[in-house]
Amino acid sequence: MSRIVHLGPGAFFKAHLAAYTQEAGGWEITGLALRSPKARDEFQGTYTLLERSEAGTERREIDVLREVIHVPSAPAAAMAALTDRETKVVSLTVTEKAYAPGAMTHLLWEALAARRDAAVPPFTCLSCDNLPSNGRVLRQLLIDEAGEAGDWVAKAVSFPSTMVDRITPSRTEATVAEGGPNAEECEAFRQWVIEDDFPDGRPDWPAQFVTDVTPYEEMKIRMLNGAHSMLAYAGQVAGLETVRDVMNDEALASRVAVHMGAAVATLDPLPGTDFNAYARDLLARFRNPHLAHQTAQIAMDGSQKMPQRIFAPAVTALERGQDLAPFAYATAAWITYLQRTPEVADPRAAELRPATLEHILDLPDLLPSVLQSSASWRAAVTRELEQF
Ligand code: CS2
């Protein structure tokens, strides 16, 4: 049977790619856990996905995930799965911070090189993380990792970009009580936009196939994820534990709507997509009373999320002479969160201290230089900090 090997077989993968693959039929998945053995330890063959909407909870039994290998404890088994001829797609949900040279890029390049040497066609690399042009980012990392063989990677391997969407809170006691120890829960809504570039085949996923995913990614990252980060920091500072709690706070809920409007203004039109309707749907999804999506979960790894979610649209707003205040507010909320949170979960946590405005705005590889040198941006963030 044709196989997908998936790096990062956590909750989001179980609610999204695995559910789509289950529906497509005809393919199986091997999960590779790169760091924590948790996904291997809790693997039981099948799991229940609880899809929650206003109308109630739908249960789906998922059995396409056939095995989970913990790479550090079983590197040979991981390599065997990656180099097997039936493995035609290698997909990833490894979070933003893994897109740097390291364990992930070594493993993929080692497997691609072994396949090349054995005359096995390369697998398609499918990034499913919330980064703009995620396929192109991964492609460049693999070209760099391959060194002298970079040209071969560029020519022989395909890296379609994707936009993935499904709100997936971390498992709670309620998830376990209803669905069992390895269940996951998510919203009923889901979306997947994929560049259709799979030379060795792919499942017949019920997704949307396009030639360029960039405008969909920009819409989603700036509108959904940008508003998410803003409300997570503002919510954390206000002592609000979940997204729905924030949405029940009238003042904050209207800030969320304002943020989405500001994000829309930075987007180029996308034929067939009504951004205002998308914003209305997002607000309803955030209000979902049946999901307890923790603001602390979204607040994690801010240094890896703020650039594409908040700073990139702020640059567009600056260039277009639009209002900077919503992006400055989100930045001020982040800075205030950093100042008031004793243990910040972020790979750059140490560097983010002291979380003063000057220190944060001047850190290398965080804010784009146009913002760093913009007096109006600094003034806007300073003004918004007074809100807290
Ligand atoms: C969230 C995302 O945790 C976060 O940073 O913004 O995980 C979000 O829930 C998903 O991208 C929704 O598709």
Pocket test for ligand 1, best of 130, 164, 281 (most atoms within 8 A of CB): 130
* Residue for token pair 């091997």: 30
Q: In three state form, how does the secondary structure of 57-101 look? A: EEEEEECCEEEEEECCCCHHHHHHHHHCCCEEEEEECCCHHHCCC
Q: Alpha carbon of 189 to those of 165, 340, 347: distances in Å?
A: 8, 34, 30
Beta bridge partners of residue 271, listed in sequence order: none
166 lines ligand 1 (CB under 6 A): yes
Q: Tens digit of pLDDT for each residue in 102-114?
A: 999 999 999 999 9
CATH code of domain 2-212: 3.40.50.720
pLDDT the model gives residue 86:
98
298 lines ligand 1 (CB under 6 A): yes
Q: Tens digit of pLDDT for each residue in 166-221?
A: 999 999 999 999 999 999 999 999 999 999 999 999 999 999 999 999 999 999 99
Q: Tens digit of pLDDT for each residue in 12-25?
A: 999 999 999 999 99
CATH T-level topology, domain 218-385: N-(1-d-carboxylethyl)-l-norvaline Dehydrogenase; domain 2 (1.10.1040)
Atom of ligand 1 nearest to the CA of 164: 13
How do beta strands 27-33 and 2-7 pair?
parallel
CA separation for the pair 122, 111 (Å, rounded):
9
Tell me the percentage of the chain whose pLDDT exceeds 90.
99
Q: Tens digit of pLDDT for each residue in 351-376?
A: 999 999 999 999 999 999 999 999 99
Atom of ligand 1 nearest to the CA of 130: 11
Query: Residue of the nearest CA to atom 3 in ligand 1?
Result: 298
Q: Are 295 and 246 in contact (CB under 8 A)?
A: yes
How do beta strands 27-33 and 47-53 pair?
unpaired
pLDDT the model gives residue 172:
94
Q: Tens digit of pLDDT for each residue in 44-67?
A: 999 999 999 989 999 999 999 999
Atom of ligand 1 nearest to the CA of 12: 7
Q: Are 49 and 183 in contact (CB under 8 A)?
A: yes
pLDDT the model gives residue 30:
98
CA separation for the pair 31, 55 (Å, rounded):
32
CA separation for the pair 265, 269 (Å, rounded):
10
- Helix 226-237 and helix 325-340: axis angle, to 10°? 50
State mean pLDDT over 304-312.
98
Structure pTM? 0.97
Q: Domain residue spans in the chain?
A: 2-212, 218-385
